[in-house]
Structure 1
């Protein structure tokens, strides 16, 4: 069983997948920072607030602890167990996804273009002529030469 596991791990596609997951996690952190630290403050400013992820609805106002009454701190209310509908956080994550999807699209598109440019054009194999056409040409050529034997 240990040998089977070692053979499974040493296959190329498993190692490629592991590298892709590690790079993807690091790339995800970069995109998350871009979204939370650069884009969402701009979007939040456009929509009237500096922190767009703090937009939420309190679903049960009676469950808000007295110490947090009137609070607009999403993280504190969530930590206190208050039922919240955090649509701002959802929008932040949706924007994050769209950015990642667009960047991956651009990378795949660029790689596909490079692969297309580096490929040599494949010449089509010559199509064999039908046997009856070849035979008719041979007969024609013999008749032109004036041969009487067929």
Structure 2
């Protein structure tokens, strides 16, 4: 049973999946940093200093000044966090689209490349020539 588990765990697809998950986690951190540290400050500057992370609609209780206080007071819709996550998603989707598009173009180039014509060995070429000469005599 241990041998079967080892074979399962070390299959090529399983290892590829594990590598993909690890790279995906690192990529997610990178995208979060790009969004939070680069894109959102630019959007905040363009929109007059609006901080999306603290944007919310308080549905119940007395209006509060911060998101944390509004959440303690009752029902609160924190749409600013959603906007940030939506931008994260769009960046990830765009990058993955570009990667898949690039891979598809590389596959098309490989398919479009003509297959190398195999050179006929000398003995087969000679036999083909003899066959053609005999065919002409008949």
Indicate whether 1:116 and 2:108 are aligned.
yes
Q: 2:90 aligns with which of 94, 98, 101?
A: 98
TM-score by length of 2: 0.72
State the distance in 2 between where 1:11 and 1:51 align: 47
Provide TM-score, normalisation by structure 1: 0.67
- Give unpaired runs (5+ residues) of structure 2: 116-138
Residues in 2 aligned to 1:81 and 1:2: alpha-carbon distance in whole angstroms: 54
CA distances 1:27-73 after superposition (whole Å, capped 9, x unpaired): 010011101111112222333334212110112124xxxxxx7322x
Shift in alpha-carbon separation, 1:44–1:7, aligned structure 2, 3 A:
same
Q: 1:96 to 1:10 in 2, by over 3 A?
A: same
Map of 1:51-62 to 2, 5 A cutoff?
51-62=51-62
Structure 1 unaligned runs (5+)? 63-68, 123-150
- Contact map agreement 1:57 1:85 (CA 8 A) in 2: yes
What do you get for the CA RMSD once the two structures are aligned? 2.2
Match of residue 71 from structure 1 = 65
Matched pairs, number:
115
Residue number in structure 2 paired with 1:41: 41
CA contact (8 A) 2:56 2:80 kept: yes
